[in-house]
Amino acid sequence: MSEVDKIVEVCRKVYDKGYVSAYDGNVSLITERNTVLFTRSGICKGEVTPEDILEFDMSGALLKGEGKITTEFKLHLFAYSRRPDVSAAVHCHPVYATAFSLIGEGLVEHYFPEVILTLGKIPLCKYGTPSTNDLPLSLEPYIECSWAYLLQNHGALTLGKNLDDAYYKMEKLEHTAETIYKARQIGELKPLSRNHIDELLKISEETYGIKIDPRNIY
C-alpha cells in the first residue's frame, strides 16, 4: 500500500470509529523522502481521497497537491522536530478522551499493564488556541517521552513509529478513557501498585520486546 493510500485508510478508520466528526482531525506521516504527507483542511475524514493528501517540506511549504493546509500542521511539525523516533501523527476528538480533557484531567494513573506498555502515562497539555504557537508548545513539557497527549478543551494527539502505530495508539487511548469512565460509574478504581509497575518495567524488554522510558511512567 502506498503512503497516500495508508493515510486514506486511517482517515476512514478514525471517522468510522467516531473519533472525529464533520471536518475534525488530521493525519500525517513522514515519507521516505523526508517530506510530510498531510490531510488537507476542510475535508471530512470519512470522505478523504488520495487527491486530498498534500505533500509539504519540513518548513510547511507545499510541494504537491491542491488545497489549504490545516492550522494544526504546526502541532505535527513540532512533534517531528523534537522526536526523531516518530514518523506519524494522528489528531482526533474522540469522545471519552476529549471528555477527560474538558475536566482538566490527564490519564496518568496506571490501571492496565497493556497501556503502560503501549502508551505510558497520558498527560494533559494546557489549552492552546488553534493556529497559534501556543498549541504545539503545549506539548513541550512531555514531548521527549510521551506517545499520547490529551489537549485541553481540544482532543487528543498520538504519535507513532509508523501510521498504523499512531492509529492504534489513538484506538487504545480512547478505549482506556472509556473504560475508566465506565468503571467510575461502578465504584472506586484500583490503580496498579508501584511494585507491580516496577516489575512490569523490568520484564518489558526481555518478555515483550518493549523498551520503556521510565519518564513516561512516573
Burial of 29 (0-12, 13-18, 19+ CB in 10 A): buried
Give per-residue burial for 38-61: e unless 16+ CB within 10 Å, then b: bbbbebebeebeeebbbbbeeeee
For residue 128, which phi and psi values (nearest 5 degrees)? -135, 130
Report d(CA 218, CA 209) in Å as an integer: 20
Could you give the residue numbers annotated as active site?
72
For residue 141, which phi and psi values (nearest 5 degrees)? -65, -15
